[in-house]
Structure 1
Amino acid sequence: MKALFETPSTPLVPVAGEVDGFPVHRIFCVGRNYAAHAAEMGAEVDREAPFYFTKPASAVVMAGATVPYPPGTSNLHYEMELVVAIGKPAFRVNSADAMQAVYGYACGLDMTRRDLQNVAKEKGRPWDFAKAFENSAILGTISKAEDVAPIVDQRITLSVGGETRQDAVLSDMVWSVPEIISHLSGYYHLQPGDLIYTGTPSGVGAVVTGDELHGTIEGLEPVSLILGPAE
C-alpha cells in the first residue's frame, strides 16, 4: 500500500562524534521535577510518582535555530532541561538496570505557552495546546553516555540576552534519571529514538521576539535559540 501523500521526515538530531543522526521517535516530558519550580508555579511535587506530558516528534528544532514567536499566546516561557536519549528497548525495568537503555544526553528547551497552560489548569483540561505545538522542543547535540560523566550534580543554566535566568544543579531533581526510566517503562515500551525531557529548575519566565536564549549543562553541548517575529 502506498501513502496518499508525503509526510514529514523523522527529525535527526546530531550526535557528537558521529556522522549519522539520532532519529526521534517520541518525546516524554516530566512535570514538576524540581521542587523550587513547582513552588514558583503555585504547585507541590507529587512525591508518590512522577507525571508526564508529551510532545510530537515534529516539535523538534535543532539548537541555533531562529523560530517565529508561536501563535495563540502572549506569554511564551522557556524551560531549560536535561534530555535523555533512549537507545535500547526498555519495558518494566527496575532502577538498577534502567541506565542500560540510555544512549546519551542533551540540553533541551521545553517552550511553553504559559497563558494557555494556566487556562488548562483552571479548567482541568489537558496541557496539549500549551506544550505540544510546533517548534516547542529545542534540542542540542546529543553526547553519548559513554563520553560524559555520570549524571549527578552538574550545573544547569539558562540565560536570555546574556542575563542568567535559571541556575541549579541536576541533583535538585526530585526523580532521578533511572527512577524516571523505570517508572515510565512500566506504562510504555520505551524504544530507541525516544526522548525524555526531565523537568526544569526554577527561574522560568517570558521571552519575546528578538530574545536570544542560551542553555548549558556541564559536560554537554549547549542549546541556543533566537525568537523571530510572529507569523
Structure 2
Amino acid sequence: MKIIAVGMNYAQHNKELGHTVENKEPVIFMKPDSAILKDGKPFFIPDFSNEVHYETELVVRINRLGKNIAPRFANRYYDAVTVGIDFTARDLQRKFREVGNPWELSKGFDNSAAIGAFVPVERYKDIQYLNFHLDIDGRTVQQGYTADMLFKIDDIVAYVSRFVTLKIGDLLFTGTPVGVGPVSIGQHLEGYLETDKLLDFYIR
C-alpha cells in the first residue's frame, strides 16, 4: 500500500504559503506506508520538529489495479472516501526548501498520515462537491470544499497512473485548503465530511 499526496491543490492555501507560481500539472509526493495513523490512535509530536502543522484533506481509497487510466474512467478506480490529515513538519520543510533539497522527510515521517473511517462513495451524490472541516477542541479551524480543487480527483487519478501503477488499498490525499496551522500536545482533533464525523483523536 502506498500513499500518494497532492500538494498545492487549493488556490487560497497556495497564497497562504506564499506560492505564486501556477502549476500546470498536479504536484505529487509520496508517503511510506509507515506514515499511516488510524483507528483513533494518538499522534505523538516528533522530537525533530518544533512546528508540526495539520493539513486536512479528502482522502480517496483505490479499489482496483490501474495504469494509464483515462480521466473518464478514473471514477471506477476508487470506492471510498474519508477525511485525513497530512501532518507536516513545517520547520523542516522550510529548511529543506531553502537549499533546494527534496522535502519528503518533512511529510513522510511515521504517523504523518492520519485517516478516518472510510465511507462508500455512493453515500454522497458527487464527491467533487463535498464540504469537509477540522475541529480542534470543539472549534472549527479549517474547512474546505472539494469543488475548489485546482486539479479534480479523476484528473489526479489519471495523471498519477501515468507514472505509477495504482494498487488496491492505495490512498490518495487530494490536497489541503486554506487554514493550516500548528498542533500542540493535549489537543483533540475531529474531522468531518459533510455532517459525518470520521476522524477523532488526540495530540500527545
Q: What is the CA distance between 1:221 and its match in structure 2? A: 4.7
CA distance in structure 1 between the partners assigned to 2:142 and 2:81 by the alignment: 19
More helix by share: 2
Q: Counterpart in 2 of 1:207?
A: 183
Runs of 4+ in 1 over 6 A off after TM superposition: none
Q: Counterpart in 2 of 1:113?
A: 89
Unaligned runs of at least 5 residues, structure 2: none
Match of 1:194 among 170, 176, 180: 170
Amino acid at match of 2:32: P
Q: Counterpart in 2 of 1:29?
A: 5
Residue 142 to residue 211, structure 1, CA distance change in 2 (3 Å): same
Q: Counterpart in 2 of 1:102?
A: 78
Q: What is the CA distance between 1:168 and its match in structure 2? A: 2.4
Q: Counterpart in 1 of 2:148?
A: 172
1:79 aligns with 2:52: no
Larger deviation: 25-34 or 146-155?
Answer: 146-155
The 3-state SS of whatever aligns with 1:83 is strand
The 3-state SS of whatever aligns with 1:222 is strand
Matches within 5 A, 1:122-141: 122-141=98-117
- When Rg is computed on C-alpha atoms for both structures, the one with the higher figure is 1
Q: Counterpart in 2 of 1:153?
A: 129
CA distance in structure 2 between the partners assigned to 1:173 and 1:217 by the alignment: 16
Residue 192 to residue 221, structure 1, CA distance change in 2 (3 Å): farther
Amino acid at match of 1:106: T
Paired positions, count: 204
Query: Structure 2 length normalisation: TM-score?
Result: 0.95
1:43 aligns with 2:22: no
CA distance in structure 2 between the partners assigned to 1:163 and 1:192 by the alignment: 35
Amino acid at match of 1:205: G
Amino acid at match of 2:42: T
Asked if structure 1 preserves the Cα contact closer than 8 Å seen for 2:121 and 2:127, the reply is no
CA distance in structure 2 between the partners assigned to 1:63 and 1:73 by the alignment: 24
The 3-state SS of whatever aligns with 1:185 is helix
Unaligned runs of at least 5 residues, structure 1: 1-24
Q: Deviations over 1:53-91 (max 9, x none)?
A: 111111111142223211200001000000010001111
Asked if structure 2 preserves the Cα contact closer than 8 Å seen for 1:107 and 1:220, the reply is no
Residue 78 to residue 109, structure 1, CA distance change in 2 (3 Å): same
The 3-state SS of whatever aligns with 2:24 is coil
Q: Deviations over 1:127-163 (max 9, x none)?
A: 1220011111101111122333221322111121112
CA distance in structure 2 between the partners assigned to 1:70 and 1:146 by the alignment: 37
Match of 2:41 among 60, 65, 68: 65
Q: What is the CA distance between 1:181 and its match in structure 2? A: 0.3
